[in-house]
A = this chain, B = another copy of it.
Amino acid sequence: MTQSSGAPTADPDQDPVYTQAVTELLGAIAYGELTAFERLTEDAKLAPTLEDKVAFMSMAAAEFGHLTTLLERLRELGADPYATMRIFKKGFDEFHAHTRPADWYEGLIKAYVGDGLAADFYREIAAYLDPVTRDAVIESLVDVGYAELVVDRVRAGIRADPRMGGRLALWGRRLMGEALTQAQRVAGERDALSALLAGGVDRPGLDLAALGRMFARLTENHARRMSDLGLDS
């Protein structure tokens, strides 16, 4: 791996702090994909039809494909993929424990809104990564195809039972709140990850104003997704 001028490198000999940060980031995304797989298979079990069940299994299988790419990249970086994922187990497991869907619709919304938010966040961070890692991250975030299915099913559900809209709108807000809580906790605990966002002498980073703009973009995208579902954000 050669160091291109100005751009960060993923070579551990060159910048151990950067490599540590990248390793942790990939570990977080990987563990997130793993839990997404588990959640999609749970959703599949609740599916009212065999067709929707197979659709959700298909998404889970696609998430697993993303996970393997990330584990591969972690191995290339010389990291133990499983040890790295374990760092983030507590945060994700708590998020999922606090946001257990009560029914098929809450599961659909969690898949759409939760994964959308996570993907937006990782894509923002990817801008600060070396090209190889950036590609691995971007590739792992390719939409596994549920957006259209979720929007269709949720809208049909609300048409059939309009009272459901209020409950599901509250559910979307709770998902956003829990995700931010866990993300802040993780950022506070992982110095290397925070340093990645803050930048360094030879690496661009986010100042407070840029962080604010990033947060605004995440919130806007969340609101757009809720609106696609026919829900207030």
Contact surface of A with B, Cβ cutoff 8 Å: 34, 37-38, 41, 44-45, 49-51, 53-54, 57-58, 60-61, 64-65, 67-68, 71, 82, 85-86, 89
Alpha-carbon distance between A65 and B57 when the two chains are bound, in angstroms = 10
Q: Are A64 and B57 in contact (CB under 8 A)?
A: yes
Chain B residues lying within 8 Å of A85, measured Cβ to Cβ, are 50
Flag if B44 contacts A38 (CB, 8 Å).
Answer: yes
A53 to B57, CA, bound (A): 17
Residues of B with C-beta under 8 A to A45: 38
Q: Is the CB of A67 within 8 A of B50?
A: no
Q: Pick the residue among B49, B50, B68, B86 that contacts A50 (CB under 8 A).
A: B86
B54/A67 in contact, CB under 8 A: yes
| Majority DSSP secondary structure for residues of A touching B | helix
Sorted from nearest, which 4 A-B pairs have the closest CB atoms?
A41-B41, A61-B64, A61-B61, A50-B82
Q: What are 21 pairs between A and B in contact, CB < 8 Å?
A: A34-B50, A34-B53, A34-B54, A34-B57, A37-B57, A38-B41, A38-B44, A38-B45, A41-B41, A49-B82, A50-B86, A50-B89, A51-B82, A54-B67, A54-B71, A57-B67, A58-B64, A58-B68, A60-B61, A60-B64, A61-B65
Q: In the complex, which of the residues A54, A68, A71, A86 has the most CB atoms of chain B within 10 Å of its own CB atom?
A: A54
Q: Nearest chain-B residue to A58 (Cβ)?
A: B64
CA distance A65 to B60 in the complex (A): 12
The interface residues of chain B lying within 8 Å CB-to-CB of A68 are: 58
Q: Complex Cα distance A86/B51, Å?
A: 11
Q: How far is the CA of A65 from the CA of B65 in the complex (A)?
A: 12
Name the residue on B nearest A42 (C-beta): B41
When C-beta atoms are compared, the residue in chain B nearest to A68 turns out to be: B58
Contact partners of A60 in chain B: CB under 8 A: 41, 60-61, 64
Task: Write the chain B residue with the least CB distance to A89.
Answer: B50
Could you tell me the distance between the alpha carbons of A53 and B37 in the complex, rounded to whole angstroms? Answer: 11
Bound together, the chains give a CA A49 to CA B86 distance in angstroms of 10
